[in-house]
Structure 1
C-alpha cells in the first residue's frame, strides 16, 4: 500500500506540473492585460502601462514568469493581481465562499442520488423506476440559469409572500397527498391489494398532516417539539437497526433504541447549553455522542452482536442529534424572519449585510442564502449519481456471486448490503472523487445567478482582465483537488473490493 501511494503521488506531481505549464501559457495569452490602460488619455496611459508592465513583469519571457510563479507558489506566495491586490487574500475569501456553497450541495447530491439509484435498481421497471428515470433525465438536461430563475421566483419571492399567511389550499393538499401515496405504494412489495392499502393510508396521513399544519399556521412559527423528536428518533433506531442487522437480531435493535432514548434525555439535560452554543460546542457534542453510542453498542452488543450493535447505535445517536439540531433551528425561525422583514429565503449574496444574531439565527441566515443555489446544484448533480448508481447496481445484481449468495440462503437485506452495494460502489467512487475535486472550482453560472463571489468569480475575473495570477490560483486549488481525490479514489478501491490488488 505504501509503495503504491508513493508511486501514485510521484506520478500525480508530474501530471500537476505538466498541467500547470499548459494553464499558465493559456492564461498569459487569454487577453491583453494592457488593453484598458491603452485607452486612457495622454500621460495617464503611459503611467498605467508602465505600472502594470512592472507589476506583472510583462517584459520577461513567459518561461521565466512561469518559473518565478512556481517558485513563489511552492513557498505559499501567489503574488498580486493586475491591480496590486494580494492573490492569497482573494483566494482565501473565494475558497471559503465556495466551500459554503458546494459542500452541502455535494453531500446532498451524493447521499440522495445514491439512495434513489439503489431504490430504483431494486424496483427495476416498476412505476417508481420509470418515474425516477424520467425525472433524472429532465434534471440532467435543464440549464442551471433557468433553474436558478425558477427557484428565485417560486421558492423565494412567492414563498416569502406566502409566509405572511401560511395556509395551504385544498388543491395543494390533495396533490401532495396523491404524490405521497403513489410513492409509498411503489415502494411496497406485494399484491395490488397491499399497494392500494399503502396508497390510501399514506395519502390520508399526509392529507391530515398538511391540514393540521395549515390550520395551526405552523410554518409561521415552526418547531418539532419533544414528542415529534422522540418519535423521529424511534423511527431512526428502527431504520438503522433494520439496515445494519435486520429486526431479527434483538441486541442491535435494543442498542439503537437505547441510543435514541439517551439522545432524547440529553435534549432536556443540555437545554441551557443549546440555548446559544458555538460551533465548537456542537462539534464536541457530536464527538461525545459518537463515543457514548459506541460504548452502548460495545456493552450491549456482547461478543456475538457487537459488530452490528456499534454502528446501529452510533448512526441512531448522530441522527437523533441532527433531529434535535433541526428542532432548535426551527424554534428560532420566527425571530429570524421578523428581523429580516419576513423574507427568510434570500436570492442574492452569501449573507445579510451587517446582520447579528444568535448562533441559531445566524445559521438560519446562512441557510436562507444557501437554499436556492444549493438546490440548483443538487438538481443538476442528482441525475448523474442516480443513473450511475442504478446502472452499477443492476450490473452487479446479475453476477454469479450474487445468485450464489441467494442460493446459500442469505436474506435479501444481507445480499444487497454485503455483496451488491459494496461491489456496485466501485464506479461510483470514481464519480464522487472527480465530482468533489471539480466542484471545488466553483459553479461559475450559479455564482453569477445568485450573486456569490467565490472561486468561479475569481476565474472569470482573471480571464476578463487577462491576469494569469488569479487563474493560476484557481488552478492550484481545483487541479490539486482533482489529482488528490483521484489518488484517494484509487486507494479506496482496495477497501471497497478486496479483489483489486494495488501491486
Structure 2
C-alpha cells in the first residue's frame, strides 16, 4: 500500500509540475499586463510602462520567473508559503486564498451532502420502480435539471427565491389557494409513486401525503411561522422519533427490536436534553469549539446507547444510533439558530428582508454566534440550491443506472431465493455495489466544486475560489491564477486517491497490487 501511494504521488507530482510549467508559459503570452495603460492619455505613459515591467519583472525570461514562483511555492514544505502577489491590489495571494477557500468550502459542504443523499435515494427508488410513472417523472426532471443553464437558474432563484419570498414574509397574504392545492397534489403523487404498492395502498398514500402537506402549509401561514420560524421541543421530539424509525428501517429493519429501541432511546435522550442545552446556550457564550465538543459528547452517548442495547450485531446498533443522534443534534442546533430570526430580521442591515441575494455575509451586522450563523445560512441558501439542483440530476441518473445493473445480477436473485426480504436485498446487497461507480465520481465532483463554482459564485457575489479565478483573469494577475491551478491540481490528485480507497472499502474483492 505504501509503495502504491508513493508511486501515485510521484507520478502525479511530475504531471503537476509539467502542467504548471506549460500553463505559466501560456498565460505569460495570453495575459495582457498593460491592459489598463493602453487607453491612458497620461504624458508619462512610457514611465508607467517601465514601472509595470519592473513591478512584474517582465524583463526576466518567463522560464526563470516560473522557477522563482516555484521556489516560493516550495516554501510550503517548511510552512513559509509564498504564492506571489496580486499586483493590481498589492495583496499577497496567500491571504486571498485563505478567504476564498473558506468561503468555497462553506458553500459546497451543505449543497454536496444534500445533493448526494437526495440523488442516491431518489435514483435508488427510481430503479426499484422501473418503468413506473414515478420513474418516468424522475427521469424527465433529471434531464430537465441537468440541461438547465446555471446562470438562468441562479437569476430565477434571486427573483423568486429571495425577492418574492421576502415580499411574502413581510405581507403573507395569498391571492389564491390554487398554487397551494396544486403543490399538495403534486407531493401526494410523488409519495404515491415513491412508496408504490397496490391500488389501495397507493390511494391511501396519496390522500395522506396530500392532507399532511396541506395541513403543514396551512399551519405555517396561519401561525405566522414565517415571521418567527422555529422547531421547538415538539418538533425535536416528533422529527427525532421519526428519524429513529426511518434509520432503523433503512439499517436493519423494524423487526430488529434492539436497534429500534436503541434509536428511540437516543431520540428521547435528545428531547430530555433540549431544555438543559437551552440554558447552556443562554448563559455560556458559544463558538465552534463548543459545538465540536458537544458533537463529541453526542457521538459518545450514541455509541454508549448502541452498545448498551447491543443486539445480534452491536455495531449495526451503534451505527444506527449514531445517525439518529446526529440528526437530533442538528435539529437542536438549527432550532437555537432560528430563535434569533426576529432579532436578525429587525436589524437595520437586514431591514426585514432576511433571504440574501448577494455576498457571503451582511456588512455591519451586529450579533452573537447564533446571529452570525443565521446570517451565513441565509446567504448560503440560494447558491446552495442552485448547486444542489444541478448535482442532484447527475447523481440520480448514475445511481439509477448502476442500481438497474446490479439488481439483475445472479447474487441478487440468489438472495431473494434464500428468503431475504426486499429491504435487506436492496439496502444490504444491491446498494453497496451500486455505489461503486459513484465512488469515482463523487470525490472528483467535490474537488471540482472546491475549485470554484465559477458561475454561481459570480452571480451571487460569493468571494470563493471561482470568483477569485475570474477576477484574476480579468485583472491579468498571473500569480493568483497559478495558485488556483496548483491548488485545484493537488485536490484532483487527492480526489483520485480517495476514489481508489473507496473502491477497496465498498468492494473487498478490489485490492491494491503493491
Which category of TM-score, normalised to the shorter sequence, fits these structures?
over 0.9
* 2:443–2:496 CA contact under 8 A, matched in 1: yes
**Corresponding residue of 2:8:** 8
**Corresponding residue of 2:342:** 334
Q: Are residues 68 and 409 of structure 1, via their aligned partners in 2, closer, same or farther at CA, if it must alter by over 3 Å?
A: same
1:440 Cα deviation after fit: 1.3
Pairing 1:426–2:455 present: no
How do residues 326-365 of structure 1 correspond to structure 2 at under 5 angstroms?
Answer: 326-339=334-347, 340-365=350-375
Q: 2:245 aligns with which of 238, 248, 263?
A: 238
Pairing 1:473–2:483 present: yes
1:43 Cα deviation after fit: 5.5
**Corresponding residue of 2:78:** none
Pairing 1:417–2:417 present: no
Pairing 1:175–2:182 present: yes
Q: 1:145 aligns with which of 147, 151, 154?
A: 151
1:321 Cα deviation after fit: 0.9
| Aligned counterparts of 1:67 and 1:374: Cα–Cα separation in 2 | 39
Structure 1 stretches of at least 4 aligned residues deviating more than 4 Å after TM superposition? none
| Aligned counterparts of 2:22 and 2:127: Cα–Cα separation in 1 | 42
| Aligned counterparts of 2:212 and 2:145: Cα–Cα separation in 1 | 29
**Corresponding residue of 2:28:** 28
| 1:42-93 deviation per Cα after TM superposition (whole angstroms, max 9, x unaligned) | 5532332223212222112221111111111111111112333311112222
| Aligned counterparts of 2:464 and 2:316: Cα–Cα separation in 1 | 43
**Corresponding residue of 2:66:** 66
SS at match of 1:190: coil
* 1:236–1:316 CA contact under 8 A, matched in 2: yes
CA RMSD of aligned residues (A): 1.6
| 1:474-495 deviation per Cα after TM superposition (whole angstroms, max 9, x unaligned) | 1122111111111111122111
How do residues 67-216 of structure 1 correspond to structure 2 at under 5 angstroms?
Answer: 67-75=67-75, 76-83=81-88, 84-168=90-174, 169-216=176-223
| Aligned counterparts of 2:187 and 2:38: Cα–Cα separation in 1 | 63
Q: Are residues 341 and 35 of structure 1, via their aligned partners in 2, closer, same or farther at CA, if it must alter by over 3 Å?
A: closer
* 2:84–2:480 CA contact under 8 A, matched in 1: no
> TM-score with structure 2 length normalisation?
0.94
* 1:52–1:82 CA contact under 8 A, matched in 2: no
How do residues 383-398 of structure 1 correspond to structure 2 at under 5 angstroms?
Answer: 383-398=393-408
1:158 Cα deviation after fit: 0.7
1:411 Cα deviation after fit: 2.0
**Corresponding residue of 2:497:** 487
| Aligned counterparts of 2:35 and 2:472: Cα–Cα separation in 1 | 14
1:155 Cα deviation after fit: 0.9
* 1:116–1:386 CA contact under 8 A, matched in 2: yes
Q: Are residues 29 and 461 of structure 1, via their aligned partners in 2, closer, same or farther at CA, if it must alter by over 3 Å?
A: farther
| Aligned counterparts of 2:413 and 2:458: Cα–Cα separation in 1 | 51
* 2:302–2:322 CA contact under 8 A, matched in 1: yes
Q: 2:310 aligns with which of 272, 279, 301?
A: 301
Which ranges in structure 1 are unaligned for 5 or more consecutive residues? none
* 1:329–1:364 CA contact under 8 A, matched in 2: yes
